[in-house]
Structure 1
Amino acid sequence: MNLDSIERHSFAPVDHAYTARDAILYALGVGCGADPLDEADLGYVYEAGLKTVPSFVNVLAHPGFWAKDPRFGIDWIRILHGEQSFEIHAPIPPEGRVRGTYRIDAVEDLGADRGARLYQSKELHAVDGTHLATVRTVLFMRGDGGQGGFGSPAASPTPLPERAPDAVVETPTLPRQALIYRLSGDLNPIHADPAAARRAGFEAPILHGLCTLGIATRAVIAARAPGAPERLRSMSLRFSKPVFPGETILTEIFGTGGSLRFRCRAKERDIVVLDRGSAELL
């Protein structure tokens, strides 16, 4: 990779006008509306009194798949989402116009055989200047280790308690889940094209990590703040294994108050797919 080009890169601000239709499409992409009699879930997909799933901030003002640009020299086909966090500073309206400002905070070299981590952050503001959210992303660049780094990497999330969870939320996904979710902006072909997925080392297209994060967001709210997504202030997690569309996600939640820990497990394979999760509720 061209480390100097990555370090010097300055993103142009991304302006994004979105409608209630976009908020509903995102909600459908993370599985809302599966039960037509669930009135709390219906609030995300029905325009009467529409609410936004808080994790919607991850796709608003998205800069696109910038790492595919040849000038950065990144082995983009082997990129995986490593970690993600978001902090909500003000309510996210179901429609409006926002501006995202991005920066690359650090690249951490893990070694020639282990790859590298890239740390990126986004500040999301409404057009009136209201600070809506801060979003942080860690990309795992499997093919770009041993080439140096820069900046100060953020601390890694801590392990979960060694005990049984206090609550478990079961969420099925659809075989076409990734094809719906990608319409919210992430068009990486490994989520749709079987040939691209095989080139990246997967037997089939995988679900977007941010889609699984959205499923976990819904599960945490359903278990600890039903019908009140505005109570969620922040979430952070590590993506540990890919999910295949059609699998069932078990969200295991630790804690009963405002500070929670969680992880997600693919039920059919009994493996952890999201790990070291934390959530803060009002």
Structure 2
Amino acid sequence: MPIYYPDILEQTTAPRTFSYGDKDVMLYALGIGMGRDPMDARELDFTYEKNLKVVPTAATVLAAAGGRQGRTPPQVPDGKRLSEINFLMVVHGEQKVELHQPLPVSGTFTAESRTIGAYDKGKDKGAVIVNETVWRDEAGEKVATLTGSTFARGDGGFGGPSDGAPEPHPIPERAPDLSVDFETRPDQALLYRLNGDRNPLHSDPDVARRAGFPRPILHGLCTYGITCRAVLQAIADYDPNRILSHQARFSAPVFPGDTITVDLWRDGPVISFEARVKERGATVIKNGKTVLRA
């Protein structure tokens, strides 16, 4: 089905209820490489239930806790046309997590999603679709807002606006204030996929080769989580409650086993960051921005 504009801006999903627990929180932390040193008490707090803390970017996977998969079908009001993009031709463009309150170790929540933007880059250039998901707790209070953009390579030419998409966060022109290296494990994608994203691109060598990669690639959201880990470690003293929001653009794949270098710039409560794989000369995350709580 094609994209219908402006009908797509009224496209939502029905509220859905989900729960997660401490096991899901710990699995996410292990999936982004925390706990490699079991004697490091600061990271143990994210991987052991004794004094358990939640990595803020875990919000990107906790709605799929326990391996539940599948998209909630979109819906539109009567008289509007339902849009559908070609999911075989999409890549994750940007991701932002904003926390209205710190994530608890466990709980039951309701999530509802809607399309908040659709930008036409041209018939042969694709489209950018922006979706927002809001979590609420059992009292109806906002917990988190997740905003993500999808680059739909096969869906341009639908007649929507070409301009107006959110501008990327500018990175300071000075040298980074500090840099942190993270070695990923050769089997890291096999562990991270247990958070819920079982796309075989991250596990099956044959699927990866058919997609044009020499071997399975690491999930983009895993790399995104590693950049949040960098802020926690280097700037926030491992206190997840200090992180109000974390956002980034995906620019190149990471292969399990790569060493990721996260460059950070601090300007008051705003932390800018980018991530790169030095061995391949590839920048894998661009225009990153973390906002710390006052």
* TM-score past 0.5 threshold: yes
Q: AA paired with 2:71?
A: W
How many angstroms apart in 2 are the aligned matches of 1:193 and 1:24? 25
Report the CA distance shift for 1:244/1:194 in structure 2 as closer, same or farther (over 3 A): same
How many angstroms apart in 1 are the aligned matches of 2:290 and 2:91? 23
Task: Find the residue that maps to 1:43 and give its secondary structure.
Answer: helix
Residue 218 (structure 2) aligns with: 207
Tell me if structure 2 keeps the 8 A contact 1:81–1:239.
yes
Q: AA paired with 1:232?
A: I
Task: Find the residue that maps to 1:36 and give its secondary structure.
Answer: coil
Structure 1 residues without counterparts, runs of 5 or longer: none
Where does structure 1 differ by over 4 angstroms across 4 or more consecutive aligned residues?
62-65, 150-153
Tell me if structure 2 keeps the 8 A contact 1:118–1:140.
yes
Indicate yes or no: 2:20 matched with 1:13.
no
TM-score calculated relative to the size of structure 2: 0.88
Residue 37 (structure 1) aligns with: 39
Indicate yes or no: 2:291 matched with 1:280.
yes
Shift of 1:68: 10
Task: Find the residue that maps to 1:111 and give its secondary structure.
Answer: coil
Tell me if structure 2 keeps the 8 A contact 1:3–1:149.
no
Tell me if structure 2 keeps the 8 A contact 1:110–1:116.
yes
How many angstroms apart in 1 are the aligned matches of 2:253 and 2:112? 28
Q: Deviations over 1:195-242 (max 9, x none)?
A: 322333322221111111100001011111112111011111111111
Residue 186 (structure 1) aligns with: 197
Higher mean C-alpha deviation, range 139-148 or range 46-55: 139-148
TM-score calculated relative to the size of structure 1: 0.91
Report the CA distance shift for 1:91/1:67 in structure 2 as closer, same or farther (over 3 A): closer
Report the CA distance shift for 1:223/1:119 in structure 2 as closer, same or farther (over 3 A): same
Q: Deviations over 1:89-111 (max 9, x none)?
A: 10111111111110112221112
Task: Find the residue that maps to 1:207 and give its secondary structure.
Answer: coil
How many angstroms apart in 2 are the aligned matches of 1:105 and 1:51? 32
Structure 1 counterpart of 2:282, from 255, 271, 278: 271
How many angstroms apart in 2 are the aligned matches of 1:95 and 1:67? 22
Tell me if structure 2 keeps the 8 A contact 1:106–1:149.
no
Residue 2 (structure 1) aligns with: 2
Residue 155 (structure 1) aligns with: 166
How many angstroms apart in 1 are the aligned matches of 2:191 and 2:207? 18
Residue 235 (structure 1) aligns with: 246
Tell me if structure 2 keeps the 8 A contact 1:24–1:44.
yes
Q: AA paired with 1:23?
A: V
Residue 156 (structure 2) aligns with: 145
Residue 136 (structure 1) aligns with: 147
Give the RMSD, CA atoms, in angstroms: 2.4
Residue 208 (structure 2) aligns with: 197
Shift of 1:73: 5.3
Q: Percent identity?
A: 43
Report the CA distance shift for 1:110/1:231 in structure 2 as closer, same or farther (over 3 A): same
Structure 1 counterpart of 2:100, from 89, 93, 101: 89
How many angstroms apart in 2 are the aligned matches of 1:154 and 1:270? 29
Tell me if structure 1 keeps the 8 A contact 2:3–2:155.
no
Q: AA paired with 1:140?
A: F
Task: Find the residue that maps to 1:132 and give its secondary structure.
Answer: strand
Structure 2 counterpart of 1:221, from 228, 232, 239: 232
Q: AA paired with 1:40?
A: R
Indicate yes or no: 2:127 matched with 1:116.
yes
